[in-house]
Structure 1
Amino acid sequence: MTTLNHEIYINAPKSQVWDVIANLGGIVKFHPLVTNSYYVTDDKQGTGAARVCEFGPDRSVNETAIAWNEGESYTLEVQFIKGQKPPVHSLHGSVSVRGHGSGTVAAMTVEYAPKFGPLGKIVDVILLRPQFNKIVPNVLKGLKHHIETGESVDPQVLSQIKLSPATS
């Protein structure tokens, strides 16, 4: 099992950050690679709530909440429903928030089990980890920007966001 953790400081109250991340269908506003997102369950929050995220016309995933701690964190199980699937047995993403001074630290954790035994471990080191270690910080950067400015984030907006080391 591979576990990757990233976090970012957001200049906003914890409740405001939680409201944004708990709106599962609203991920399109801050995830720079998501082109469309929508609920596929009647439940919008809590365990069992699910969304589809589209990454352009050729890739989409279904994400279902398998754990939900209201106001604190949730974990999503990711299932690839369209497009190329990464060589993993399972993929989970967790998001959490904690108050820090007058702001909030938002954290994202990605956990997955590479396929193909020893060969999969090599693929993990040279392909999967670098890819996730690029994507996850960009999602957090988009979340910070969206919450602090109200602007939706796409790849073009993301390329213009500059964070100083003290704020990232």
Structure 2
Amino acid sequence: MPSLSDSVDFAHWFNLIGACFLLSFNDAFPKTKTNKVASVLTTLGVIAHIGLCTIDFIMSSYGNNEIAKEQLSQHIGNSPLIFYPFVAVGPSLLFLGLALHALAFMKTETLKSLMVIVGSVGVGFSFFALKNGILMVLSCAVFVLGLGLLLYKNEAETMLNK
């Protein structure tokens, strides 16, 4: 009988839940023209992450059947209506949108903004170009820390102004 850890893809569940929580960043930052564009990109990126997680859930359901996994990968790669929005381009929109949100704070919170921007570029570069999981995790950590610090500052200012 398989254990719970064999049947539940915890990594992708956490990724899915985290991506959905990132929608709240659209309401946390000021409403400028740039941030409106960033909100659209962030929302599209979250939708793409949901699709990507769904694909990964299906992939993990094949267990050790590498032939079936390879066939599914080929099918997705040959289907532009699935591949581009949910694998190749879509998930990157989440990082792009959140980096645009951070760009609004470049003058006042330079280090935190740079953490988000450099972290988002690092995630993409380490995943697509280098295919280096450790560098991707480190880039995600820098990205999340910068975003969290920006959000904390923004929320603290909001609470003080009330």
TM normalised by structure 1 equals 0.27
TM normalised by structure 2 equals 0.28
Q: Answer 1 or 2: which has greater helix percent.
A: 2
Q: Answer 1 or 2: which has greater strand percent.
A: 1
